[in-house]
Amino acid sequence: MLLDAQTLLDAAFAEGFELAGLTPAIPHSDHARHLDWVSRGLAADMTYLTDHRAQVRKDPRDIFPQAITMLCVGKLYNTNGPKDHTESTEHGGWISRYAWGTRDYHDVLREGLERVVARLKVQLGQPFEYRICVDTAPLLERSYARQAGLGWIGKNTCLINEPQGSWFFLAELLLPFPTTSFNSPPPDRCGTCTRCIDACPTAAIVEGPSGWELDSAKCISYWTIEAKTEASAELKQAFGNHIFGCDICQDVCPWNRRAPLSEEPAFQPANACPPLEALDEQSFRDRFRKTPVARTKASGYNRNVLVALENRRK
């Protein structure tokens, strides 16, 4: 069965995705770059990037053997909250924009792609097997999103769409059918701009053998979300009031100046700048259990709050 490409794209747009594109579900040349990045220790202690899953990322068919076509989608999460961390309240901590909402984006995007599948089943008049990936599967999602025409990968390592910026969640739908056409990657439009590099307070964006890349061991997002240990005293001084993630490299990006706002209720800014107060286990669960912030657990969240309080006193 040959699927019409526009039918697939229209199904994604109809179910609330602002970006959509198609690419073959085959190995990507960026896999070698990923393995090199891992081998040089730039993934820090994120074992889900460095263990056996690093090799699985080579081919989408390793996670769905029937895969022929990949539908890549992007869902906007930019909302009308504080402009950046400097606009947080006097006693507030900064939470990364992607975690401001009241629901985990994994659930929202998965539900959206399930609706795409349901729409396609009706149009095709038959069931079919598929695989949905929302950043937890071992897949080079930014590389495939670029290949599917959703944007280019900027110097800050984020996917950037020319008219809409970089405030997007990415997800993929692996399908067992060929399609009439695929999209093409857009040109890189970062040019000579280095604003993200210059603005990073910990110099986490470094020049590698194949271009700019992220040194996770210097990244505020790594230390406030992923790390199980504490950063050095010198590094913590650069964290400011960040208690979950960091958006600085996107805040300063010129392509985000006119980024549209998401109307998705789940992403509206309920948790943008919480008070710099430690929370007990129950209070933490009550506020964050259905949001991305739950990833840090109360212990990690309170650790980050203490760092922010110490920085405020200096």
Known catalytic residues are: 135
Separation between Cα atoms, residue 98 and residue 269, nearest integer Å: 9
> By C-alpha distance, which of 285, 311, 310, 309 is closest to 299?
285
Three-state secondary structure call for residue 66:
coil
Report the 10 Å Cβ neighbour count for 136. 9
The residues facing 131 across adjacent strands are 174
| Exposed/middle/buried for residue 127 (C-beta within 10 Å: 0-12, 13-18, 19+) | exposed
Which ranges in 200-296 belong to alpha helices (H)? 220-221, 233-236, 248-251, 281-288
Residue given tokens 């056996």 in the structure block: 52
Quote the CA–CA distance of 251 and 199 in Å, as a whole number.
9
